[in-house]
Chains A and B, each alone.
Chain A
Amino acid sequence: EIVLTQSPGTLSVSPGARATLSCRASQSISSIHLAWYQQKPGQAPRLLIYGASSRATGIPDRFSGGGSGTDFTLTISRLEPEDFAVYYCHQHGSSPFTFGPGTKVDIK
């Protein structure tokens, strides 16, 4: 099973600032199988990034993804109030599919 580790666990950021979230895999993943989701309380996860770096439909360009192999990042360039949420990375290339434990982005 591919274990995904996310850091930090919690990120306190001021509105308008930049946030960089990390996802590390226990073994190499093809970039096409790495996704990022945003989840707000009481809601289902929402796909932000697929293929490590492609934005899903309707996702603002302040969200960007990068990385390869075992190290991936999600960057939010200028945090808006609606961006404070939990973010999960996900690998769907090797069964069992797995998710990272999440990074909570909260208001500083």
Chain B
Amino acid sequence: QDQLVQSGGEVRKPGASVKVSCKASGNTFNRNGINWVRQAPGQGLEWLGWISVYNGNTEFKEKFRGRVAMTRDISTRTAFMELKSLTSDDTAVYYCATSTGGVGGAFDIWGQGTMVTVSS
């Protein structure tokens, strides 16, 4: 079954870092890579970046460069997103998402989301 399962919610203090995992099953760990999207409470969707499963190449939205890292572990079919120097503005649900093919690269498989709360 094509599925992405994310790690559980996290609470961090301002200035700290958080690392979220996304474990793939079925056909979800593929050449289309893993994208990371976040959604602040009551707000819309924001793409953070993408990692290639095959070679680990990454691409980030400019505002996150230098603060975000995306990695993957092929042996466990798991992708990771680490966000550093957290502020309250980073409080959001973080999703991983991918395209299983046949949908032109649109995101047809999403993880369940990981709530990250940044609070002192």
Contacts and interface: CB of A to CB of B under 8 A. Distances in A.
A46 B106 CA distance: 11
Interface stretch (B7-15, B44-52, B72-80, B84-92): B44-52
A1 to B, nearest CB: 8
Interface in A57-108: 57, 88, 90, 92-93, 95-102
B110 A45 contact: yes
Interface residues of B, number: 22
A44 B113 contact: yes
Interface residues of A, number: 25
B44 A44 contact: no
A47 B59 contact: no
A33 interface: yes
Q: In the complex, which of the residues B104, B106, B107, B112 has the most CB atoms of chain A within 10 Å of its own CB atom?
A: B106
Contact of A47 (B35, B45, B108, B112): B108
A88 B45 contact: yes
Most chain B beta-carbon neighbours within 10 Å: one of A95, A96, A102: A96
A44 B112 contact: yes
B56 interface: no
B62 A96 contact: yes
Nearest to A52: B104
Given A96-B62, A101-B44, A50 B111 contact: no
Given A32-B104, A37-B107, A99-B45, 7 more contacts: A44-B95, A45-B95, A45-B110, A46-B110, A92-B105, A99-B37, A101-B44
Interface of B: 35, 37, 44-47, 50, 59, 61-62, 95, 97, 103-108, 110-113
15 contacts: A33-B104, A44-B95, A44-B111, A45-B97, A45-B110, A56-B103, A90-B45, A95-B59, A95-B61, A96-B62, A97-B47, A99-B45, A99-B46, A101-B44, A102-B44
